[in-house]
């Protein structure tokens, strides 16, 4: 399981979309939710993902954050 931490939202409530894709663009996980103003975190189960390199993409408030995730089970 990974815990994405420290993404900060400015407005009181914001919708977000999150996806995890492999480096070939195949989508493995998609999630949506509502965040609150300030620091937020999201927990995502990664046990079922094959070993490899993934991109975690978070879209909210017209912005995009992309982080690299390496899974080694």
| Residue numbers of the domain that contains 36 | 2-71
Number of separate domains in the chain? 1
What is the token pair recorded at 34? 């509502």
What is the token pair recorded at 47? 């046990």
Q: Residue 55 sits in a domain of what CATH number?
A: 2.60.40.3080
What is the token pair recorded at 16? 């977000």
Helix (H, G, I), strand (E, B) or coil at 7: strand
Tell me, what's the pLDDT at 11?
65
Low-confidence ranges of the chain (pLDDT < 70): 1-11
Tell me, what's the pLDDT at 30?
94
pTM of the model: 0.79
């Amino acid at each position: 399981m990974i815990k994405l931490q420290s993404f900060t939202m400015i407005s009181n409530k914001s919708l977000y979309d999150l996806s995890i894709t492999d480096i070939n663009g195949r989508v493995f996980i998609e999630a949506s939710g509502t965040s609150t103003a300030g620091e937020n975190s999201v927990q995502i189960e990664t046990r079922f993902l094959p070993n490899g390199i993934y991109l975690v993409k978070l879209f909210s408030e017209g912005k995009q954050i992309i982080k690299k995730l390496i899974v080694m089970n």
